[in-house]
């Protein structure tokens, strides 16, 4: 019995130490890759994919899941507040500025992009450049799985973005929005409907 207990404790401790080692490696790698100060209070659970100029600023106590994609091009920059949670597979792409306030949470595979491709006659799409406008996400904002935030949008403090919503206009503080394009969900019945429709994606 004692041997079994010892074996179980050893396995549990080994797994725990391995998790801590992964977190340390992830944080150290990101600190080096970003070439900016990264406070040790941030928890990085897996490798972050970085592209472009790497103009990225982290706050304190972030929890970052694996598969985060960060890209800054031209004068673009990304500013992350304290205590944020970014889930697996999130994309943040900036040609202008993306700011995410303290305490906000981004669900799996959500996308925040502050630029759109420009179209010009007789110019291939990939060579036509971009039109960019800053995205400002306030404090304690909850962005559901698969939601898309488009250029020029400002989301107020405490707002909730339903799963798979496409946000094309500003969202007032404390408001819950959902749909394509996203609109306020004014009643409990609306919120229940969107929860039921999108439950398979949670």
Please tell me which residue in 95, 97, 117, 169 is annotated as part of the active site: 117
Token pair for 18 = 């391995």
Distances (CA, A) of 197 to 32, 185, 190, 200, 201: 42, 14, 11, 7, 9
CA dist 25 and 28 (Å) reads: 5
Is 117 among the catalytic positions? yes
Residue 119: phi and psi, rounded to 5, are -110, 130
Q: How many CA atoms lie within 13 A of 8 on its CB side?
A: 5
Token pair for 62 = 């972030």
Residues marked active site are found at 117
């Amino acid at each position: 019995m004692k041997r079994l207990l010892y074996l179980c404790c050893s396995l549990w401790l080994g797994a725990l130490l391995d998790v801590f080692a992964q977190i340390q490696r992830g944080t150290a790698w990101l600190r080096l890759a970003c070439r900016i100060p990264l406070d040790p209070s941030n928890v990085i659970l897996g490798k972050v994919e970085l592209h472009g100029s790497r103009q990225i600023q982290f706050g304190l106590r972030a929890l970052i899941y694996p598969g985060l994609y960060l890209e800054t091009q031209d004068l673009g920059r990304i500013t992350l507040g304290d205590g944020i949670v970014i889930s697996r597979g999130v994309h943040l792409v900036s040609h202008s500025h993306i700011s995410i306030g303290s305490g906000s949470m981004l669900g799996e595979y959500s996308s925040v992009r502050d630029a759109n491709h420009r179209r010009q006659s007789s110019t291939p799409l990939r060579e036509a450049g971009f039109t960019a406008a800053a995205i400002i996400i306030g404090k304690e904002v909850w962005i559901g799985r698969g939601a898309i935030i488009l250029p020029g949008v400002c989301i107020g403090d405490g707002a909730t973005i339903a799963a798979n919503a496409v946000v094309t206009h500003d969202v007032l503080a404390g408001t819950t929005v959902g749909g394509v394009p996203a609109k306020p969900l004014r009643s409990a019945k609306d919120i229940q409907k969107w929860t039921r429709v999108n439950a398979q994606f949670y």
